[in-house]
């Protein structure tokens, strides 16, 4: 395809900011591009040359681009720079200079998408001596053949500032709009707006019955909604598995839904991990995961996705970053322990104190994730133990649709435990509340955060936050805290004091420990409301600068939270994670508020 056709699309995207219109424009383009170009074009629409999972970067700084524009336009670099300072956009500068510089000469040959893509991909390969000049040459070569408008978008793409508003949501929907109705021979009569409308109208119950409608040929409106939702979900799932819209678009174009389903996991390419919801009790765990369910220690470490192919190992974080270099100790123990030629494992790496042989909280080992030097010393001083809790692929075979029970069996089969290095995560398959409570106590005693509960029948859903894998942490004791400051809200909350700075007690002194703004309701009929709170606090305002006002300390509120952390921000030296107001403690005054000693005690308690 000609690059100018893509540039036309960029211009249309730039001129209309509505998401729906952008989706339509992208879907129409995807529909008509030849199969050979679809991967490249999908990536270029996102303004990238590599898929999201790939860490390679074009590595072209603005100064390098100045040189390239100067070489292509024949103008002195200083002149280019002053134009750039004037307009603030190097893309526009390139466009203008090329326009004025080339009035009489005709462009020698037409740029294709393939040529642009090829040159972009050569950029990161240039390293070492002379690489800057060679990079400049590659870009200048494109700019010399470019029409003015093409130059604008080439420059923006190379600098990573394309910004035509094609994000993950737009691409996902556009792929569904482009291919599925045609593939299935359905809904030709629906335009973009109808699609959006049917999507919004689909109810949760309808979605649950989705499978039934898979094969419907001429659906009624309700079935159409489900099908549409199914298409969009299928594209999303394929993306969660591959993190590459290029290959997703290509699979959808050539094979429709079946093409997406057939997309497979690849060793060495990270997959989005399955995420968990939270429960507040063991009973709720059984409700979500069924009986029996599997309980596992919830370790306070960091998620690692381990890929192995023969003697090569990759380690990815939950954000899909490749951290293989930082963890030679994990590479080594995977090679020694794992009995599979190829596999993808899901695991938690947890730090421990090598002399005391006790788990350490995540903060202690977190530095290893970014550390690029002194790695051997880190391995010695901050060793980690890998707890493998799931498997996505073994010897080329995807395991994601297998029930968890089978995946766990596979983990036990292939992961040979090596003390303090690697093991299948400790677990218990249980039907009774009592045994789970005891297991919880055991996990806490070993220094963990709590338990994970998992349904033994459920599949692995990459990228999804699922109800069949849930976390259960110790519910912390609530604190009773005094309101000492408050802040007027924004927008529709501007009539209310909607955020409260709270303090604990040290003798007769009050020490701030955090700010809380969740837990209250906007409508009085739903519970303690912002309006009510504002009425109570307004007479107590003693001073105020702008939005923030000091409050005479009289009111005590009960505050729940996820965790107490050490923090220099507040004078108590502590801060609360995810605090929320539970209720007003009208029965308590500032003298009855929780003491700093109590806070310290709870802080230490949560570590054990």
Q: Give me the residues that bind ligand AMP (CB under 6 A), please.
A: 276, 296-299, 303, 318, 348, 389, 425, 452, 471
Residue 329 or residue 348: which is nearer to ligand AMP going by CB?
348
Gap between the Cα atoms of 235 and 174, Å rounded: 10
Sheet of strand 275-278: strand arrangement: 275-278, 465-473, 450-454, 293-298, 427-430
Rank residues 423 and 452 by Cβ distance to ligand AMP and give the closer one: 452
**What's the token pair of residue 575?**
């801060």
CB of 275 to ligand AMP, least distance (A): 6
Given the complex with ligand AMP, which of 49 and 451 has the nearer CB atom?
Answer: 451
Q: Two tokens at 418?
A: 């090596």
- The residues pairing with 385 across neighbouring beta strands, listed in sequence order, are 350
Q: How far is the CB of 274 from ligand AMP (least distance, A)?
A: 8
Task: State how far the Cα of 51 lies from the Cα of 43, in Å rounded to an integer.
Answer: 7
What is the DSSP annotation of 546-594?
TTEEEE-S--EEEEE-SEEEE-SSSTTSEEEES-EEEEE-TT--GGGSP
Q: Which two tokens stand for residue 590?
A: 């500032």
- Cβ at position 488, least distance to ligand AMP in Å: 33
**Cβ–Cβ under 8 Å, residues 77 and 68:** no
Pairing of strands 275-278, 465-473: parallel
Euclidean distance between the first and the last CA atom of the chain, given in angstroms as a whole number:
62
282 Cβ contact partners less than 8 Å away, ≥ 6 residues apart:
433, 436, 437, 440, 453, 472
CB of 425 to ligand AMP, least distance (A): 4
Query: Nearest approach, Cβ of 462 to ligand AMP (angstroms)?
Result: 13
CB-nearer residue toward ligand AMP: 257 or 466: 466
Tell me, what DSSP letter sits at residue 415? B
DSSP-assigned letter for residue 418: B
> DSSP states of 241-290 as a string?
HH--HHHHHHHHHHHHHHHHHT----TTS--PPPEEEE-SSHHHHHHHH-
> Whose Cβ is closer to ligand AMP: residue 21's or residue 364's?
364
Shortest distance (Å) from residue 348 CB to ligand AMP: 4
For ligand AMP, the closer of residues 93 and 414 by Cβ is: 414
- Closer CB to ligand AMP, 190 or 275, in the complex: 275
DSSP H helices in 385-525: 404-414, 433-445
Backbone angles phi, psi at 474, to 5 degrees: -65, 130
Give the number of residues written for the chain. 608
Residue 529, helix vs strand vs coil: strand
CB of 86 to ligand AMP, least distance (A): 48
Could you list the beta-strand ranges (E) of 299-402. 302-309, 312-316, 342-353, 358-359, 384-394, 397-398
Residue 473 CB, nearest approach to ligand AMP (Å): 7
CB of 343 to ligand AMP, least distance (A): 17
Task: With beta carbons less than 8 A apart as the criterion, state whether 18 and 193 touch.
Answer: no
Known catalytic residues are 298
Nearer to ligand AMP, 207 or 277 (CB): 277
Cα–Cα distance between 23 and 534 in angstroms, integer? 44
Cα–Cα distance, 354 to 552 (Å, whole number)? 50
Cα–Cα dist 597/259, whole Å: 61
- 479-488 vs 312-316, strand pairing mode: unpaired
Nearest distance from residue 52's CB to ligand AMP, in Å?
A: 19
Give 303's strand partners. 348
The rounded distance, in Å, linking the Cα atoms of 421 and 385 is 4
In the complex with ligand AMP, which residue's Cβ is closer, 157 or 276? 276
Q: What are phi and psi of 556, to 5 degrees?
A: -115, 135
Q: 455 or 501: whose CB is closer to ligand AMP? A: 455
Contact 345, 388 (CB under 8 A): yes
């Amino acid at each position: 395809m000609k690059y100018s056709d893509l540039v036309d699309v960029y211009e249309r995207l730039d001129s209309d900011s509505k998401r729906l219109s952008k989706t339509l424009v992208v879907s129409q383009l995807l529909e008509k591009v030849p199969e050979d170009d679809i991967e490249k074009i999908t990536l270029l629409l996102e303004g990238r040359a590599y898929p999201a999972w790939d860490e390679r970067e074009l590595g072209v700084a603005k100064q390098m681009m100045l040189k390239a524009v100067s070489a292509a336009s024949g103008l002195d670099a200083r002149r280019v720079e002053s134009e750039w300072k004037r307009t603030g956009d190097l893309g526009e500068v390139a466009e203008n200079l090329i326009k004025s510089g080339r009035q009489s000469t005709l462009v020698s040959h037409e740029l294709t998408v393939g040529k642009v893509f090829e040159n972009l991909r050569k950029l990161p390969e240039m390293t070492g001596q002379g690489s800057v000049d060679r990079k400049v040459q590659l870009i200048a070569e494109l700019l010399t053949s470019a029409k003015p408008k093409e130059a604008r978008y080439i420059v923006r793409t190379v600098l990573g500032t394309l910004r035509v508003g094609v994000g993950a949501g737009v691409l996902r929907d556009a792929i569904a709009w482009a291919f599925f109705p045609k593939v299935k021979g359905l809904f030709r009569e629906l335009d973009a707006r109808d699609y959006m409308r049917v999507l919004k109208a689909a109810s949760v119950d309808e979605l649950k019955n989705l499978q039934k409608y898979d094969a419907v040929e001429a659906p009624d409106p309700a079935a159409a909604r489900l099908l549409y939702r199914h298409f969009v979900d299928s594209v999303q799932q394929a993306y969660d598995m591959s993190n590459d819209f290029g290959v997703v678009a290509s699979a959808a174009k050539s094979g429709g839904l079946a093409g997406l389903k057939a997309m497979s996991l690849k060793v060495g390419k990270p997959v989005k991990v399955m995420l968990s919801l939270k429960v507040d009790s063991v009973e709720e765990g059984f409700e979500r995961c069924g009986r029996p369910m599997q309980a596992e220690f919830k370790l306070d470490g960091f998620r690692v996705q381990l890929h192995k192919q023969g003697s090569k190992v990759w380690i990815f974080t939950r954000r899909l970053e490749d951290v293989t270099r930082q963890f030679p100790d994990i590479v080594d123990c995977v090679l020694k322990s794992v009995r599979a030629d190829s596999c993808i494992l899901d695991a938690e790496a947890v730090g421990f104190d090598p002399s005391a042989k006790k788990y350490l909280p995540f903060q202690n080992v977190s530095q290893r994730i970014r550390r690029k030097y002194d790695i051997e010393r880190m391995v010695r001083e901050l060793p980690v133990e890998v707890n493998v809790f799931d498997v996505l692929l073994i010897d080329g075979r995807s395991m994601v649709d297998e029930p968890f029970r089978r995946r766990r069996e596979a983990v036990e089969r292939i992961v040979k435990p090596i003390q303090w290095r690697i093991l299948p995560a400790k677990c218990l398959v249980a039907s009774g509340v009592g045994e789970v409570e005891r297991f919880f106590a055991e996990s806490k005693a070993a220094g963990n955060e709590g338990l994970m509960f998992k349904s033994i029948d459920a599949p692995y859903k990459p990228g999804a936050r699922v109800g069949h894998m849930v976390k259960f942490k110790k519910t912390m004791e609530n604190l009773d805290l005094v309101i000492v400051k408050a802040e007027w809200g924004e927008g529709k909350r501007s009539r209310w004091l909607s955020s409260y700075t709270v303090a604990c007690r040290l003798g007769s002194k009050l020490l701030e420990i955090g700010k809380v703004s969740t837990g209250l309701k906007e409508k009085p009929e739903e519970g303690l409301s912002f309006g009510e709170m504002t009425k109570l606090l307004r007479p107590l305002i003693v001073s105020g600068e702008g939005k923030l006002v000091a409050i005479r300390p009289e009111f005590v509120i009960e505050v729940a939270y996820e965790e107490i952390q050490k923090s220099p921000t507040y004078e108590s030296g502590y801060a609360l994670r995810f605090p929320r107001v539970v209720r007003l403690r009208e029965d308590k005054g500032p003298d009855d508020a929780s003491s700093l000693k109590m806070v310290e005690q709870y802080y230490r308690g949560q570590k054990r």
